[in-house]
Amino acid sequence: MKNDLICFSHLRWNFVYQRPQHLMSRAVRQGRVFYVEEPVYTEMPDQLRVDIDPVDQVIVVRPELQRTASGSNDVREDHFELRMARLVDQLILEHQITNFVVWYYAPMALAFSGHLKPMAIIYDCMDELSAFKFAPPELVEYEQKLLSRADVVFTGGHRLFHTKKSFHKNIHPFPSAIDKSFFYPARTALREPVDQVSIPRPRLGFFGVIDERFDIDLVRRMADRKPGWQFIFVGPVVKIDESALPRNANIHYLGMKDYKELPGYISGWDLCIMPFAINASTEFISPTKTPEFLAAGKRVISTPIHDVVYPYGADGLVGIAETAEGFIEIAEHDLQAKRDLLWLGKVDQYLSTISWDKTWKNMAAHITKFLTDNYLYASDDLKSQSHKAELETIPKDKGPTPAEQNTQVIDRGGSSGISRRA
């Protein structure tokens, strides 16, 4: 049999393609995946918008809530939690979801999904969300509740793991991985995108979300000191005032792009940079773009983000600098250096040890173990992803009888919780 999965996320499915998309697009191999986004507000009565991603086959669910009488979108108004809970129940009923696993990215979703009784509750803590700009004050409390209820917890990096490990006995670190085959073509000269083709060289590029984690002053200082270098940024600007961004003639903001376009942009860059600010919002991040840039065969320079320094910086795969002068010094060396096959070999050796397929396989193994230890059965497809050759039968004193099986699956104690391409 297959187990459905309900994922509650704070990210839009069609926003930047990152960890949730990589993992959920692989989870569909084990059963249906319902990716529940945060609600949007309309003039229509409360309803669910359900679409199937034509590529990944994930079922994307967008709750649409009618605006309050005052026109406010304040989630505290007008019985928000009750209305969302009704929509979640509607989803389960209409799609006949019975044996299911709940996967959280958004702890706040417990407010309207805590009544669910799934077979397992998974919390994939990809970031320290409470440190992000505009994070609701209740987030810390809801995460604590989620950690107390979750059956399996994953973290988006080692730094985050060491911070959370004391709060859960079944927690495992899974740093950012790579779909190497997707980015590998960027090692050759691909057709230039039209908005990049006329930009002079050398080009130092970055793709991803430009938000409070972006070191504006660092970029400005580099552009000021190197007016002949071109700095290219691909991705949306969110949560910060665009007017605050440096507007030097050698800085180019190309906006959000479709995920499949990224190799074409990276192919035309001479170096890749990750000018992250060193602040509370970046203390625990494990940037997905690190292995992506390396898979494209590009030299990378980053500020000292913990999960970039270890292992990438320590292994000599990524240059680490704290200042504009440090970035420039490393960049000057890398721009003059010939193609370093020894370095590229080290990159490929490391990348061979990580992939999103391996990450999902190992995550699935932890989930399977929990289901095996607590139920008479688990998804055959999920089971095949684990390191176990076959599921062991639970001792009779620890598991339900066949007659009790359905009741146990539906009524198990514990509750669950509740964006794509750049």
Per-residue pLDDT of the chain in tens (422 residues, 90 and over written 9): 478 999 999 999 999 899 999 999 999 999 999 999 999 999 999 999 999 999 999 999 999 999 876 555 554 556 899 999 999 999 999 999 999 999 999 999 999 999 999 999 999 999 887 666 666 778 889 999 999 999 999 999 999 999 999 999 999 999 999 999 999 999 999 999 999 999 999 999 999 999 999 999 999 999 999 999 999 999 999 989 999 999 999 999 999 999 999 999 999 999 999 999 999 889 999 999 999 999 999 999 999 999 999 999 999 999 999 999 999 999 999 999 877 899 999 999 999 999 999 999 999 999 999 999 997 555 555 544 443 323 232 232 333 333 333 322 222 223 222 222 33
The pLDDT score that the predictor gives to residue 382 is 53
The pLDDT score that the predictor gives to residue 398 is 31
The pLDDT score that the predictor gives to residue 353 is 96
Residues 56, 24 contacting (CB under 8 angstroms): yes
Do domains 4-177+357-411 and 180-351 share one topology? The answer is yes
What is the C-alpha to C-alpha distance for residues 256 and 12, in angstroms, rounded to an integer?
Answer: 14
Identify the DSSP state of 247. Answer: -
Instruction: Select from 285, 317, 21, 300 the least CA-distant residue to 179.
Output: 21
DSSP assignments along 269-336, one per residue: -SEEEE-B--STTTTT---THHHHHHHTT--EEE---HHHIIIIITTTSSEE-SSHHHHHHHHHHHHH
CATH class (in words) of the domain with range 4-177+357-411: alpha beta
The pLDDT score that the predictor gives to residue 136 is 78
Instruction: Select from 148, 74, 102 the least CA-distant residue to 7.
Output: 102
Packed helices 324-336 and 216-225: angle between N→C axes, nearest 10 degrees:
50
The pLDDT score that the predictor gives to residue 417 is 26
What is the C-alpha to C-alpha distance for residues 197 and 205, in angstroms, rounded to an integer?
Answer: 14
Domain ranges for the chain: 4-177+357-411, 180-351
The CA-atom distances, in angstroms, between 304 and each of 26, 192, 279, 321 are 31, 31, 11, 7
Structure tokens at 18: 């990152």
The pLDDT score that the predictor gives to residue 220 is 98
Q: Name the CATH code of domain 180-351 (choices 3.40.462.10, 3.40.120.10, 3.40.718.10, 3.40.50.2000).
A: 3.40.50.2000
What is the C-alpha to C-alpha distance for residues 364 and 384, in angstroms, rounded to an integer?
Answer: 9
Predicted TM-score of the model (pTM): 0.84
Instruction: Select from 321, 274, 316, 315 the least CA-distant residue to 293.
Output: 274
